Structure 1
């Protein structure tokens, strides 16, 4: 189920993330995806998004999230969060995610998030900068522009 994904990040489910049913509370999956996308930019793309934001060059915000829960993660599970950019529009980027429990191949969760390129100085959306687009396409190994 991870064919076409070039980046992943692992994390372990902590006690504070489970609910009364002893499974990961649904909202924590968004945190897991956020951690993975941060690592995707830092480790995968080798881009310092914090520095780019401070310079007023580039940042991104969530515009739409779609989550499809397939199974539940539990305390102490090791999870691998796979992520990839599947499309880049003028001012948006679509990313896909699979969360897989260690030793398994079927995703516990599949997600799609649309991010909008955002100018941190003017607080309005902006076109995805060319250097960001180029770096993502280079990393993903294909053209992603619609």
Structure 2
């Protein structure tokens, strides 16, 4: 378990994700993070973001991504993608991630992604809804507004 993280999603590296060096091609790590954030909302927070987006209540888009590669995953590795919300602003949420090979403790990748709360009906950013903020803070076990 990654220290300070309450949620992870497990996935296996597939053949189509490796490159000529027989390691995961760097862009696929973004896909792994995207899968994990989707599961964080669906499984961890028990929120149906698709329905919320269709109703115009809440969705989120990427504003900034920072990746720090520390190692390489290989074909058939089982990976745990850990994610947590570290900060909630007025209209943004900062998420932290670690990707760790199963049975190991050292991250292969550390990432920070800033998401902006977005209304798909108006196609404009919006404040993070109170019910989303409350659900995240309850799940994470602490106040995240700064």
TM bracket (short chain): over 0.9
Pairs aligned (count): 146
Q: How does 1:115-130 map to 2 (within 5 A)?
A: 115-130=115-130
Residue aligned with 1:23, SS: coil
1:50-103, Cα deviation, whole Å (9 max, x unpaired): 000000000000000000000000000000000000000000000000000011
* Cα distance in 2, alignment partners of residues 4 and 108 from structure 1: 17
CA apart distance, 1:132: 0.1
Structure 2 portions without partners, runs of 5+: none
Residue aligned with 1:131, SS: helix
Residue aligned with 1:108, SS: strand
Question: Could you say what the CA RMSD is over the residues aligned between the two structures, in angstroms?
Answer: 0.7
Segments ≥4 residues shifted beyond 4 Å: none
CA apart distance, 1:40: 0.1
Q: TM-score scaled by structure 1?
A: 0.99
Aligned to 1:23: 23
Aligned to 1:4: 4
Aligned to 1:82: 82
